[in-house]
Structure 1
Amino acid sequence: MSDKTSRPPDMTSLLLESDSLERFLQALVENALATAPAAHGAGITLERQHRPTTVVSAGTGAPDLDEAQYGQDDGPCLRALRTGQEIIVEDMLGEERWGPYPAYAVACGTRSSVSLPVAPGTHTAGALNLYFAEAAGFSDVGLHDLRTLAAEATGAIALAQRLADAEAYATDLQRAMRSRSAIDQAIGVIMAQQRCSAEDAFDLLRKASQHRNVKMRDLCVELLTNIAGKPPSEGTALPPRP
């Protein structure tokens, strides 16, 4: 089996140019198929909410072959996803693992396959899968390039997760700022009415919140609305991310 070392297309540039993770992965799986022209189909499986899903595919047959493995909860694709190891099937005709799946693959015109782990050990673990019509159809494939593509997919998924976490943090921060704004305004009102310190005003609001069993922010919004006849200003929100 050869192990070519030619560099695949610049995936970093492709990631920067893509407007979504799915579009990037679609371009990546198309590059995988171009890297292994003997393959008739390729796809990327990701585990979402503990369920494997073929998120993108290229060529023919990959979704059906993936689904057959999902249906029996076993197969080379799922084995790569769950173990983080490369799973290479030389010939489905002589394959004794995975129950009826190898026979199904042969009936679909697939004799061999390569499954490479993507984002192993994470909650979005997956696999890059390539399917070949001939036994050992991957013999002329540059596995180094395919491994590089799988690593690029891993990096993209990790980046997407970090961006999602940052988005969630920004949303939580905006919510906290809105709550803080209403509470600060209510403290100012209580200080003026009761001629007390900010600490005493906050303590009065805290006790009222506990007594009525309502959230502090909701109590403050109600107080300010009753006084002004309209809901209070929610403060300055964080600008949206470009």
Structure 2
Amino acid sequence: MADYDAQPGRDEPLEPSAAQRDADDVGMLAGLRGVAELVADARSVPELLGDVAHFAAVAIPNVDGASTAVLHPPCSVRAVTATADFVETIDKVQYDELREGPCLTCMESGRVAVSGSLGSDARWPHFGGRVARMDVHSALSLPLVVKGEVIGAINAYAKARDAFGEYAVMLGVQFAASAAVSVYHAQLLQSAEARTERLQRALGSRAVIDQAIGIIRSRSGASAEQAFERLTQMSQQDNVKLVTLAERMVDEAVRRARARHHT
């Protein structure tokens, strides 16, 4: 039996027939195949999360709409994608307005959260009633866990009551495990690219600052340390970033050199 946070006091939905299980397994394999292909595909994190939500709706039975969310330490949650407009509305209600709901619960506990009648679910009295009035009654939230840490969640919603039984939960857990790896690798790649970009900017800034120091030295005969101190003083006096001031100085020197060349 799958370990998950079920709605208290509500009976487990009837298990699907053998034929229905076979059909569900086909959807699950299609979703897993799609998510596996994302690992080797150089996509941005938002693009990948959009695909994860799409494939989740394929892999998990009875889903009318799905979404993904990522967790930003220490406790900020950001909804990233939704496969249907009503899911986007639900996410805004959950994260931005009420700050309660199955996704928040599952990310806090690290366990799957399931509800078959949101309107009567005592765990989320405000959220559940609000969503039930939208004619959405079932929810399944699956934490994305890597190395024991929750990095986000997949949320599935259905208009029918008791849409997600134990078999659907099991399929969802399998899908979320694969999806978590894809999301984690995409985040690592994005972080590495951001660090590389910052390093390149830093190297470019250092180069232009060194050029400005050389200009000051050529004009004043100062040492490198004295020229840098002079540049720093000018930056503080003019309330301009050091690299911006250096760029202006280098651009002006280039402009003057070109003007002399054409006279």
On whether the aligned pair clears a TM of 0.5, the verdict is yes
- The reply to whether residue 201 of structure 1 matches residue 223 of structure 2 is yes
Partner of 1:68: 93
Two-structure CA RMSD over aligned residues (Å): 3.9
State how 1:82-121 maps to structure 2 within 5 Å. Answer: 82-92=108-118, 94-118=120-144
Q: CA, structure 1 residues 226+115, in 2 after alignment: closer, same or farther (shift >3 Å)?
A: closer
Q: How far, CA to CA, are the matches of 1:231 and 1:114 in structure 2?
A: 68
AA partner of residue 200 (structure 2):
Q
- What is the Cα deviation at residue 182 of structure 1? 3.4
- What is the Cα deviation at residue 46 of structure 1? 3.2
Q: CA, structure 1 residues 127+202, in 2 after alignment: closer, same or farther (shift >3 Å)?
A: same
- What is the Cα deviation at residue 115 of structure 1? 0.8
Q: CA, structure 1 residues 221+25, in 2 after alignment: closer, same or farther (shift >3 Å)?
A: closer
Query: Can you list the C-alpha shifts for 1:176-200, whole angstroms capped at 9, x where unaligned?
Result: 33333334445666777788xxxx8
Partner of 2:67: 43
Q: Is the 8 A contact 2:52 2:68 kept in 1?
A: no
AA partner of residue 87 (structure 2):
A
Q: 1:57 aligns with which of 55, 60, 82?
A: 82
Q: CA, structure 1 residues 26+173, in 2 after alignment: closer, same or farther (shift >3 Å)?
A: closer
Q: CA, structure 1 residues 106+206, in 2 after alignment: closer, same or farther (shift >3 Å)?
A: closer
Q: 2:201 aligns with which of 175, 195, 204?
A: 175
Q: How far, CA to CA, are the matches of 1:42 and 1:74 in structure 2?
A: 18
AA partner of residue 46 (structure 1):
V
Higher helix share: 2
Of residues 99-108 and 113-122 in structure 1, the stretch that sits farther from structure 2 once superposed is 113-122
Partner of 1:24: 48
Give the SS at the match of 1:138.
coil
Query: Can you list the C-alpha shifts for 1:17-52, whole angstroms capped at 9, x where unaligned?
Result: 464333322222222222223222222233569664
Query: Can you list the C-alpha shifts for 1:50-89, whole angstroms capped at 9, x where unaligned?
Result: 6644422235742333333232111112212333321122
Of residues 108-117 and 147-156 in structure 1, the stretch that sits farther from structure 2 once superposed is 147-156
Partner of 1:238: none
Give the SS at the match of 2:100.
coil
How many pairs are equivalent?
Answer: 227
- What is the Cα deviation at residue 226 of structure 1? 6.0
AA partner of residue 201 (structure 1):
S
Q: CA, structure 1 residues 95+194, in 2 after alignment: closer, same or farther (shift >3 Å)?
A: closer
Partner of 2:180: 154
Structure 1 unaligned spans of 5+: 233-242
- What is the Cα deviation at residue 229 of structure 1? 4.1
Q: Is the 8 A contact 1:187 1:202 kept in 2?
A: yes
Q: CA, structure 1 residues 79+231, in 2 after alignment: closer, same or farther (shift >3 Å)?
A: farther
- What is the Cα deviation at residue 134 of structure 1? 3.8
Q: How far, CA to CA, are the matches of 2:40 and 2:80 in structure 1?
A: 20
Give the SS at the match of 2:226.
helix
Q: CA, structure 1 residues 144+211, in 2 after alignment: closer, same or farther (shift >3 Å)?
A: same
Q: CA, structure 1 residues 216+100, in 2 after alignment: closer, same or farther (shift >3 Å)?
A: closer
Q: Is the 8 A contact 2:35 2:55 kept in 1?
A: no
- Percent of aligned pairs with the same residue? 24
